[in-house]
Structure 1
Amino acid sequence: MKRLMPLALAVASVNAAAQALPIEHVLVSAPLQKQEAETALPVTILSGADLRQQAGATIGKTLGDTPGIANASFGPGVGQPVIRGQQGPRVTVLQNGLRSADAASVSADHAVSVEALLADSIEVLRGPATLLYGAGAIGGVVNVIDNRIPRQRLDGATGGAEYRHDAASDMDTAILRADAGSGDLVFHVDGLYRDWNNLEIPGLAARAHDDHDEHEDDDHEDEDDHAGEEESTDGFIGNTGGRTRNLTLGSSYHFDRGFVGLAVSRLESEYGIPAGAHEHHDEDEHEDEHEEEEHDDEAEEGGIRIDLKQTRYDMALELARPLPGFDQLRGALSYTDYEHAEIEGSGETGTLYSNETWETRLELVHAELAGFNGAIGLQARRGEFSALGEEAFIPRTDSRDVGLFVVEDYRRGDWIFEAGLRLDRDERDPDANSTGDESFTSVSVSGSALWNFNPAWQARLSLARAERAPAIEELFSNVDANGPEDWIAHAATGAIELGAPGLDTEVSRNMDLALHWHDANHSLEVTLFYNDFVDYITLMNTGLEMDEQPVLAYAQEDAKFYGVELSSEFQLATVAGGELRLGLFGDIIRGELDSGEDVPRLPPRRLGGRLSWSDESLELWTRVVDAGAQTRPGLNEESTRGYTRWDLGADYRLGVGDSELVLFLAMHNLSDEEIRLSTSFLRDVAPEAGRSVEAGLRYMF
């Protein structure tokens, strides 16, 4: 039966509103650092109060309700961003312009090592950003920007502290941040502590095999819904508790023509893989454990847990007029030492992943030349990735990537034209017996036009051809196996993944067309996109099983993606001294392989929005997201039912001298609906949170 659309109250998220409005935020992710309204790039920006209200425990959760962006969850400890249906190695997550350098792209159960709650802003480039950030950005870029290296002089001190509690997972989060300076020297410190228990959900964690079929006869539904009851936890997802600690120290020295700065950060995170995601469990794990004290136990016997540690060092330099003919030089260097262990229920380490990475980026912005403004850049990365242990299925691999790029823009009357070119060389050197080095040369080019044909109207067209070299896991997973008897399963995901040495680069030909309207109090934006891939690399479910574990294989096939994104915000009226605002958003995406099969794990059609009232001290808001059923799940994948999620919240701001105290309260999933994300590998065994309350306070000085 078709779902009713709550269109009357369907309203956009704060992020959707921020995306549509012509705000003054300067886009740090683009070398020319323009304002959002000055580029044809499809951009989403989240900052300020909007970011603080939307920020969650993961990047995926923070951005998941934004048009064109979804969340690929793997329990409450992991949420990877999905941009227009692309995830994993096609979406690059950056920390201040350099890669997060974790292992998130290797597997869906690996957490992204950046914190939205510590960010000043988050910039998302939807669509191919390969030209700016290399092969891994063919699907898009998420740049998390913080102030670990202070970029402005400061006399005095600013900062804040926050505490929040989320009842769905009994999650406590505490945050502290401070910046202080005197003259030319500025210091920064921030820290985060978070711990949580098993996630509470409505009903069973594991769904019955035929539960996805909305057209099943009602008499059979009851029988099927209880088919897996003996194999599932009820009311919670087992083994999903965890703890995160993050500490960052930084400083910068400012002089007449710029600054130089250093920062060091340490991240430690330990979290469980949802019960049912793997085969390494005891039968006792699924016995009836409904008591509060029992299901809050983080260390359920038999569960796999991830023990993650990362140390990162950053250096940044900005210099005005570095050379004749150039206005600015920006440079950044990072070294990241990352590792995580997959701990079996017995306490033994099944696999130890490590990723040691050096990366540097240089940008030279030249002075205006015959009406052209632009920049040239160099990006280089060297990394050593390894997976050690009896369950290691990817060999140790050295990677070397170098990219050169140039971007230019030209303004004439009401038109802005942009163009860019990038050349990349990527090398992969695996420690494997059955295959040798792999190297790839790729070229990416883009062009765009922006037309302000009316003070209130703007049209944008962007065309791009981008190439991506295959990732390590796509090439070398189980590469040394002599046959099925030697295949090694990834314990955390409970699947066997087979790589394919000899994969070619995949080529994306992308078009974005957007129409934007705004006045002082209203805005509307509609974006159409079309992405034609040649030799698209996808991880397909073969339909085979080994020891009750599904066999997934990487393969190449042409593919097409197309979709529509909508965002808007309207000021309805002034009521009781405050503004009443309404926003609407929606998106839909289709992805088809050349064989006619659907691309797996795409987000469904979504409609939603946000209605708010606010004055100087109080904001009241309600939000709803209606997602359709995903009936195009991909070969050998199961569909997901649609859902409607209602949220409700309030923020109260209280001035305390020159400081501000904010009390906030939010209630999520008010109808306690079962939500299974089609983008998640664990949709069959790990739904999203049920009805929950989140409350906290934030002090800023």
Structure 2
Amino acid sequence: MKRTLLAVCVGAASQAMAEIPESRIEHVLVTVPIHKKAAETALPVTILTGDELRRLTASSLGETLGDRPGISNSSFGPGVGRPVIRGQAGPRTINLTNGIAAADVSSLSPDHAVSIEPMLAETVEVLRGPATLLYGGGAIGGVINTLDNRIPGQRIDGVQGAVEYRYDEAADMDTGVLKLEGGTGNFAFHLSGTFREFDDLEIPGLAIDEAAVERQEELLGLEHADHDHEEHDHEEHDEEELENSDGFIANTDGESDVFTIGGSYHFGERNFVGFAYNSFETNYGIPPGAHEHDHGDEHGDEHEEEGHEEEGHEEEGHEDHAHGEEDENIRIDLKQERYDAQLHMHDLMPGLIDVARAYLTYTDYEHVELEGMEIGTQFDRQTYEGRLELVREGANHGVLGLQWRADEFEAIGDEAYVPATDSSEWGLFYVQDFHTADWLFELGGRADYVERDPATGFEEDFTSFSLSGTALYTISPHWNIGLSLARSARAPSTEELFSNLNNAEQQLVTHAATGIIEIGDPDLDEEVSLNADLSLTWQGERSFAELTVFYNTFNDYIFLLNTGGAVGETPVFVYEQDDADFYGVEFESSVDLASLGGGDLTLGVFGDMVNGEFDDAGDVPRLPPLRVGSELSWRSDNLGIYVSVLSAEEQDSPGDFETETDGYTRWDAGIDYNVQFAGDTRLLAFLKLKNIGDEEIRLSTSFLRNYAPQPGESIEAGVRLTF
């Protein structure tokens, strides 16, 4: 049924005309150093900017991008949402802020948040497929670059900015946003910030899928402990049982505060130097059942005492639950400070070096995992990163780049299963394009040297080489066909090499977020990917449609293998390597149906699918299912109305030791109204109805799908004043 729907939508898109989003044609890709427009590259690119970004922005990067073709969300409760690109996550997907890595520890564990605030973004650029040449071997899956203009790249006369407030009913979430930019003469400044507070997330039905939990424990060879969701007295409660909440996910409240200040000095025609400081703080709860040792009964008793009934719960119960003195739930308290410096020079040596860009960033990251009032584990990471790009403009663009990163990582406490490790990375790359009348070619290469030095010994170093080539052919004024080929190499990450290294059996540390013992292998080889993308694009005067197919074969893909053994009741997994193949398809289009009532009626359609299989170890786990989505919208100069549907098939190939997830159909609708005042002042008000059918949605990409489904039916509303 869904495949038929996709075929019908593709056919409709090829017979109608649609307005092309401005970002597809005019937007210059900052993430690509030779700065091409989105329509001038064979790389699979997703761009969110302007009003489209404002409408889709959510509290996490994963939720913001999760419905775009080829991109999914891997949630770990409302406090964490990490993007998954074509089934690749963790160290294979790089999150950047203004071209430099976020430098958090989100790739280390699925319960660690990405330290990027989407509400402050001006543009989000996603390069799907290998971006290894530009940003290192870890970018085999893709790159997500969030741009926020914290160092103003252009002169600003006067003062401009925006103020926004939005409320989300699903988690009783309040979010405020402030952005202020200005300048005089050669000086420009940037000031921005957000605050966010949210309560336990409301869901349809029970939080824990007890049948799925029991099935997974059977797959892992564990004894099943019943999860009681009946009302019972405190005296009868079994401390080995995990309380199941109805209508909400317990311990998922939180708060965050982000503050950024920056400035730049402009000299010459387009040159500038600038500095910025960013503080990112968040405190959020981890849903019960997420951590292996979190089997206490305190949260269940508190919810009953505060009046949480089967059909719902009250706000007072949220607060008392979250902050009760005897609460033993797990919370993460995260703080990151980041310092950025940039230098942009133009016309340095015309014809040879037309543009030189230099970046230097220092990041100080810390988060503690709180068990009640006690610190269970503390993670510290200090990172220095530098980047230099020398660009030649003209008919054929070229860029020579040097990238350097030094990293000091340490984990202390109950869950410190990865030893303190110092890492250093060097990368040298060159990319060149060539133009003819109908062809655009791009060729490039990169060499990387990575050294990892753990405190336990076993220092490892890796030297790898990557190559890529793309070709874009203009068939006609409306049709392009693009081919991208890449050979990418990734050095093993710290956790893949050194987890539980040198620990005796009785000292093995459980990775609580996944509920297993993970053991690294210092003898792992680099991971090599051979990737091919073929895309067909149609762009009319007021239309676009794009179809992309991809194939990615890995040599020595690194993954966790179940040994079949256990320490007590905790299964033991080891990092292993096996060849793997990924393939899939992505489609996106927009169809202008008619001019109606002073506005345009438009149908948008997208679909995606990815499959992944190991040579010997079966299906790759936690891949997104086949999805088909559509949006019908009417928009005039001031008013916009839309209704959308996203249909996902069941994931019945979940991978070894994983449970299947059901399919779902999610309906959303919304309305927005903007008023233009004198000058550049504009007021935008919006209202969204989300998951109108109150569907129970469990994401196959999430480690926590059996414990924490997605929000139920809810309303989100907000207002934004831009001046």
Q: Same fold (TM over 0.5)?
A: yes
- Structure 2 residue corresponding to 1:263, chosen from 276, 287, 296: 276
Tell me by how many angstroms 1:23 deviates. Answer: 1.9
Q: Flag the 1:375–1:692 CA change in 2: closer, same or farther, 3 A.
A: same
Decide whether the 8 Å contact of 1:475 with 1:499 is kept in 2: yes
Decide whether the 8 Å contact of 1:515 with 1:526 is kept in 2: yes
Q: CA offsets per residue over residues 566-610 of structure 1, 9 Å max, x none?
A: 000011100111000001100010000011500000000000111
In structure 2, C-alpha distance between the alignment counterparts of 1:104 and 1:17, rounded to whole Å: 37
- Structure 1 residue corresponding to 2:709, chosen from 684, 687, 692: 687
- Structure 2 residue corresponding to 1:285, chosen from 296, 299, 304: 299
Name the aligned partner's letter for residue 320 of structure 1.
H
Tell me by how many angstroms 1:542 deviates. Answer: 4.6
Decide whether the 8 Å contact of 1:207 with 1:228 is kept in 2: no
Q: Flag the 1:76–1:6 CA change in 2: closer, same or farther, 3 A.
A: farther
Tell me by how many angstroms 1:314 deviates. Answer: 0.3
Name the aligned partner's letter for residue 149 of structure 2.
N
Tell me by how many angstroms 1:323 deviates. Answer: 3.2
* Residue aligning to 2:447: 423
* Residue aligning to 2:289: 276
SS in 1 for 2:322: coil
Name the aligned partner's letter for residue 247 of structure 1.
F
In structure 1, C-alpha distance between the alignment counterparts of 2:368 and 2:522, rounded to whole Å: 26
Decide whether the 8 Å contact of 1:149 with 1:262 is kept in 2: yes
In angstroms, what is the RMSD of aligned CA positions? 2.2
* Residue aligning to 2:558: 537
Decide whether the 8 Å contact of 1:212 with 1:639 is kept in 2: no
Decide whether the 8 Å contact of 2:644 with 2:667 is kept in 1: yes
Q: Flag the 1:601–1:192 CA change in 2: closer, same or farther, 3 A.
A: same
Q: Flag the 1:581–1:210 CA change in 2: closer, same or farther, 3 A.
A: same
Is 1:354 matched with 2:354?
no
* Residue aligning to 1:218: none
Which residues of 2 match residues 402-417 of structure 1 at below 5 A? Answer: 402-417=426-441
- Structure 2 residue corresponding to 1:445, chosen from 457, 464, 467: 467
- Structure 1 residue corresponding to 2:264, chosen from 252, 264, 286: 252
Which residues of 2 match residues 104-253 of structure 1 at below 5 A? Answer: 104-210=106-212, 229-230=229-230, 231-253=243-265
In structure 2, C-alpha distance between the alignment counterparts of 1:280 and 1:124, rounded to whole Å: 36
Name the aligned partner's letter for residue 113 of structure 1.
S
* Residue aligning to 1:660: 682
In structure 1, C-alpha distance between the alignment counterparts of 2:637 and 2:393, rounded to whole Å: 43
Tell me by how many angstroms 1:201 deviates. Answer: 0.6
Tell me by how many angstroms 1:555 deviates. Answer: 1.2
* Residue aligning to 2:400: 376
Decide whether the 8 Å contact of 2:578 with 2:617 is kept in 1: no
Tell me by how many angstroms 1:647 deviates. Answer: 0.4
Structure 1: which 5+ runs fail to align?
A: 214-223
- Structure 1 residue corresponding to 2:542, chosen from 521, 545, 549: 521
TM-score by length of 2: 0.91
Q: Flag the 1:458–1:283 CA change in 2: closer, same or farther, 3 A.
A: same
* Residue aligning to 2:518: 497
In structure 1, C-alpha distance between the alignment counterparts of 2:190 and 2:512, rounded to whole Å: 40
* Residue aligning to 2:357: 330
Decide whether the 8 Å contact of 1:365 with 1:374 is kept in 2: yes
Q: Which moved more, 1:562-571 or 1:284-293?
A: 284-293
* Residue aligning to 2:700: 678
Name the aligned partner's letter for residue 254 of structure 2.
G
In structure 2, C-alpha distance between the alignment counterparts of 1:9 and 1:545, rounded to whole Å: 50
Aligned length: 680
SS in 2 for 1:32: coil
Tell me by how many angstroms 1:543 deviates. Answer: 5.3
In structure 2, C-alpha distance between the alignment counterparts of 1:316 and 1:196, rounded to whole Å: 35
* Residue aligning to 1:472: 494
- Structure 2 residue corresponding to 1:636, chosen from 649, 657, 673: 657
Decide whether the 8 Å contact of 2:212 with 2:706 is kept in 1: no
* Residue aligning to 1:567: 588
- Structure 1 residue corresponding to 2:579, chosen from 558, 574, 578: 558
Q: Which moved more, 1:412-421 or 1:382-391?
A: 382-391
Name the aligned partner's letter for residue 412 of structure 2.
L
In structure 2, C-alpha distance between the alignment counterparts of 1:410 and 1:9, rounded to whole Å: 36
Q: Flag the 1:349–1:19 CA change in 2: closer, same or farther, 3 A.
A: farther
Q: Which moved more, 1:290-299 or 1:595-604?
A: 290-299
Decide whether the 8 Å contact of 1:80 with 1:112 is kept in 2: yes
Is 1:98 matched with 2:100?
yes
In structure 2, C-alpha distance between the alignment counterparts of 1:397 and 1:284, rounded to whole Å: 37
SS in 2 for 1:142: strand
* Residue aligning to 2:317: 294
Decide whether the 8 Å contact of 1:608 with 1:624 is kept in 2: yes
In structure 2, C-alpha distance between the alignment counterparts of 1:550 and 1:651, rounded to whole Å: 50
Decide whether the 8 Å contact of 1:59 with 1:112 is kept in 2: yes
In structure 2, C-alpha distance between the alignment counterparts of 1:20 and 1:535, rounded to whole Å: 41
* Residue aligning to 1:580: 601
Tell me by how many angstroms 1:299 deviates. Answer: 3.0
Q: Flag the 1:228–1:679 CA change in 2: closer, same or farther, 3 A.
A: farther
Which residues of 2 match residues 388-399 of structure 1 at below 5 A? Answer: 388-399=412-423
In structure 2, C-alpha distance between the alignment counterparts of 1:545 and 1:9, rounded to whole Å: 50
Tell me by how many angstroms 1:286 deviates. Answer: 3.3
Q: Flag the 1:228–1:458 CA change in 2: closer, same or farther, 3 A.
A: farther
Decide whether the 8 Å contact of 1:342 with 1:492 is kept in 2: no
SS in 2 for 1:49: helix
Q: Which moved more, 1:573-582 or 1:535-544?
A: 535-544
Tell me by how many angstroms 1:67 deviates. Answer: 0.6
Structure 2: which 5+ runs fail to align?
A: 216-223, 231-242
Decide whether the 8 Å contact of 2:687 with 2:718 is kept in 1: yes
Is 1:455 matched with 2:477?
yes
Q: CA offsets per residue over residues 357-394 of structure 1, 9 Å max, x none?
A: 000100001255xx632010000000101101233111
Decide whether the 8 Å contact of 2:109 with 2:513 is kept in 1: no
Decide whether the 8 Å contact of 2:665 with 2:695 is kept in 1: yes
Tell me by how many angstroms 1:640 deviates. Answer: 0.3
Tell me by how many angstroms 1:500 deviates. Answer: 1.6
Decide whether the 8 Å contact of 1:200 with 1:235 is kept in 2: yes
Tell me by how many angstroms 1:496 deviates. Answer: 2.2
In structure 2, C-alpha distance between the alignment counterparts of 1:161 and 1:21, rounded to whole Å: 23
